[in-house]
Structures are given as structure tokens and as C-alpha cells.
Structure 1
Amino acid sequence: MTTAADSLEFSLTERAAKRVAHLIEQEGQASLMLRVAVSGGGCSGFQYGFSFDDTVNPDDRTFERDGVVTVVDETSLELLNGAQVDFVEDLGGASFQIKNPNATSSCGCGSSFAI
């Protein structure tokens, strides 16, 4: 049986996957996964959160790219459906950025958004 959560998508770009793999290697724990979550707050209503985790909870979905596993809880995934995480390096520095097709607006720093 297919549920609505089964059709939700989320991905990392190749650059993001390479950067996450490098950071996990530096942590020295190969079992770590990138957890991406959405919480209330920020200047636009919702904010993105990134952390490392070694646990998959019952309400989590996992996505894999080039050996890197990303974990997103189902509630956050509804707000991130179709989103992609990229790693960008420019004169302003280096950061992870989320391209979220569901966001109607976002703040200047790119860490919060509105729907």
C-alpha cells in the first residue's frame, strides 16, 4: 500500500553529498547520517536545521546519494517535498543551501522561509 509520505522527495546535490561525506569522515563515525529538519521560528516563519544523527526514528524517511544518507522526519518532509540541498562556496564563504519549491519567500540569510 502506498501512502502520501511515499511520494515525497528530497535530495542532495553531488557537491552537498561530497561535503557531508567529508564532514562525517572528520567526525570519525561512519554510521552518521545528515538530519534535515524544519522547525517554527526564524524571520520568515520556519527555519531549516542540519545535524548529524546515528538513529532513524519510526517517522523518518531516508534518502541516499553517493553513500551519504539523509534523514528527514515526515512532518518536515511535507514542507520540504521536492527540495534539494546544495553546498555553495563563493566569496561570501561556504554554506549549505536548500532550494525549496514550496517556499513562497525566504530571508536574506537563507536559513528561514515561509509557505
Structure 2
Amino acid sequence: MEITISDRAIDRINEIRKDQNIPEDAFLKVGVESGGCSGLTYNLDFNNEIAPSDSDKVFEINGLKVLIDMRSFLYLAGTELDYTEGLEGQGFHFNNPNASRTCSCGESFSI
């Protein structure tokens, strides 16, 4: 089971890529790191300098190349990345079915 990315999130990612002059062949690196008030935090970044390793999950969603290291993939399988611009805040949001607890800001979680 891979992650999914909403059309709104893809549109915003492409805007950021254009604004920051990031090459179209750069991967969107999605990951999980230790930290945050719930124990784990999400990380999004572009990667066009380091080649994926054999254990990385690499796939394409609507023309967007996505890279997830295997450790992060275990936490993120089945997750949807979305982007919202509403009263509750603007930004990327992870809808992670594996998270048993999230903090109130939605930036960290635990399993």
C-alpha cells in the first residue's frame, strides 16, 4: 500500500517547485523523524542530489516523483498527503491511518 497525494497538494507542491526553481526531475522526499510532542514528525523536502537506495520506495503520482525511505514507509503506508487553505490553518496535512495519537497541531504523531 503506497501513499496518496491529493490534487490540491500536488498543485501546491508544483507551485513551490516553480517558485524555488527546483528541477522537475527532483523527488519529493517524504519521511518521518523522531521528535515533536507525540514522538514522530513528518518531513517533506525535495531531493535532486542523492540517488535513491535500493531499499527506498520510489513511485510516481500524477507526474510527481516520490521517494520514501523504508523506515518512514512503514509508518506512512496508506497515508494521504493533503493541502488545505481554511480557517483551521493553511498547509500540508497527513491523514495517516496508522497514527494512534496526534498532537493538536497535527505535525507529530505516535503509533
Q: Residue 80 of structure 2 corresponds to which residue in structure 1? A: 84
**1:63 is aligned to 2:59:** yes
- TM-score normalised by length of structure 1: 0.86
> What secondary structure, in the 3-state scheme, does the structure 2 residue paired with 1:39 have?
strand
Same amino acid, percent of matched pairs: 34
Q: Find runs of 4+ consecutive structure 1 residues off by over 2 angstroms.
A: none
Q: Which of 15, 21, 24 is the equivalent residue of 2:8?
A: 15
**102-111 or 54-63, which deviates more:** 54-63
Contact 1:11/1:63 (<8 A) preserved: no
Q: Is the 8 A contact 1:84 1:100 kept in 2?
A: yes
Contact kept? 2:52, 2:67, Cα under 8 Å: no
Structure 2 counterpart of 1:24 = 17
In structure 1, list runs of 5 or more residues that go unmatched. 1-7
Contact 1:10/1:63 (8 A) holds in 2: no
| Kept after mapping to 2: 8 A contact 1:34/1:50 | yes
Task: Report the 3-state secondary structure (helix = DSSP H, G, I; strand = E; otherwise coil) of the residue aligned with 1:22.
Answer: helix
- Partner residue in 2 for 1:36: 30
How much is the aligned-residue C-alpha RMSD, in angstroms?
1.3
